[in-house]
Structure 1
Amino acid sequence: MIVEELSKKVMDGYTPSKNDMLELLDVPINRLSCHADRLRRHFCQDNFDVCTIINVKSGNCSEDCKFCAQSAYYDTHITQYPLLSNEKLKKQTLDVYGQGLKRISYVSSGPRLNDDEFKRIAEVITGIKNKHSDIYLCVSLGKLNKLQVQKLKDAGVDRIHNNLETSKTYFASVCSTHTYQDKLDTIKHIDNSHMKICSGGIFGIGESWKDRIDLALQLRRLNVQSIPINILNPIKNTPLENNTVLSNEETCRIIAIYRFINPQAYIRLAGGRLLLEDNGRKAFRSGSNAAILGNMLTTSGPSYESDIKMIKELGYKISENNI
């Protein structure tokens, strides 16, 4: 099926198959990107979703994810610290808010927070939301049970992040200390109505194109509407330190295929964007319509001002609940 015909069918409500996506691997990238961007405009107009993250607890993680600088298994020389104090977390949040960014995500290292840590995070969120109702707070806290998800919802969280990372088949190749099912178990507690799911993957970790497509199909089955696309930044002393960084063209192809499979989603350029020579401009014209701004967990990012300028130059309208 040629890309022109497929894009028209998707606009008319067709649900593309895995075989459809495999055919897109041979389509010239400029042509594929053009049709993916048409799908983006058809389903999402020019709306653009931005967020920024705060690393609330850094390093010393007991998980062995081969791509991660925060794993205690690897000597990556990152800054490590326990959960930020309530006062420090409030200050960092309000500092970001003061720069005009309204969607902020708290990200913690480790498989899960202990009871005291979870209680403190919920208290901070409740306090901030009571005073600043226009702040949108998201969390990425590892494994969560149903009661914890409900408590986060009651505190004012409207989006929970938990990356599936890759396909179910390939996941065991990059992590042995928890399972794909562990991630699905957390995601299934999120109702995806008042509380939204944010879940995506990391690319360039040795996965195949079939793995990439299988992940996109899984996200579609879960009706995920915020999909982070992370490009592996090979970290010294991790098992993937010698992996080749993805090219701009390959990144654009991933994003375009994800747009065909998830036409109404926010497809979010996340970690590794600075590895692209154009800071993501081509990717934002290949179907992406969201981004994480500022610093990542252990690596630096572009300034808020330069990113916002670029996004507006590309003709996007940043959602009012973001900025």
Structure 2
Amino acid sequence: MFSKDIGIDLGTANVLIHVKGKGVVLDEPSVVAVEEKTGRVLAAGAEAHRMIGRAPGTIKTVRPMKDGVIADFDMTEKMLTAFIDRLGVKGFLSKPRILICCPVKVTAVEQKAIQDAAIKSGARRVYIEEEPKVAAIGAGMDIYQPSGNMIIDIGGGTSDIAVLSMGGIVTSESVKIAGNTFDRDILQAVKKNDRLLIGEATAEQIKKEVGTAFPGAQVKTLDIRGRDLATGLPKAVTVSSAQVAESIRESVAAIVQGAKNVLEKTPPELSADIIDRGITLTGGGALLDGLDKLLAEELKVPVYLAEDPLGCVVAGTGIMLDSRKTNFQKK
């Protein structure tokens, strides 16, 4: 009869949805598959992700999010509609209220696009919150005290770095380099060094299984298959952790520099708190082996990986939905 309030982590790589009173009910890739001629949605999420690189010309697979913001409005709306319809959170007479996250430093136009897509997918009201703030709450950080808390949220499209105090963001930076960039770096390195053409899924597999940000942190190898650029025939090669570390070195350095920039702009009293408390690492990109060690070495501050890096943002939306009940009633 009645609709439920929901929180959405609308990520470049994954969409996670929290339904009030139920917890996290959806965690699927940000992909939608549509019929080329009619635009009819055939699949969304994991099922659509399996079609990438394997679908015939009549089916188009799209990642509608790029760098944490909407790249294709219509496809984002279709993807969100498919997910929300699947969950059955719309009431008979009412629509759900949605709390949705966006990266820091997004423009008013980008924020409005996120809001409009959520409304068109079936929301009654849409509330926007900045991702690092929500991730910090989801990671269990007490950001409402007058003390400094620093978070680095590495998602699929952006790395959001922020220092928070008294419930707000004091200094922040959004770097358009994250997990998907690592995948592209690996793909290009394999193409250049091994003369082998591989797909996105294989590049992501390499990152997850043998990838490392800290040279020498792990020594692993993985046999992969693709198309030989010289002959056009299938070919297998072996990729090592050292090769992956070298291929993503520049991208990792850009994230490190972003964190340094934020620390340089942080007031001295809050900097002292960060030395004591350390930096919390969240987001799917934070799962890259050795990244916490590299950041700690470069920033000279302890760096801790959150207990559930992937789920911090959506967990934060759940906490905020509970605490914002009165705010929802006022708006």
Question: TM-score normalized by structure 1?
Answer: 0.30
User: Going by fraction, where is strand more abundant, 1 or 2?
Assistant: 2
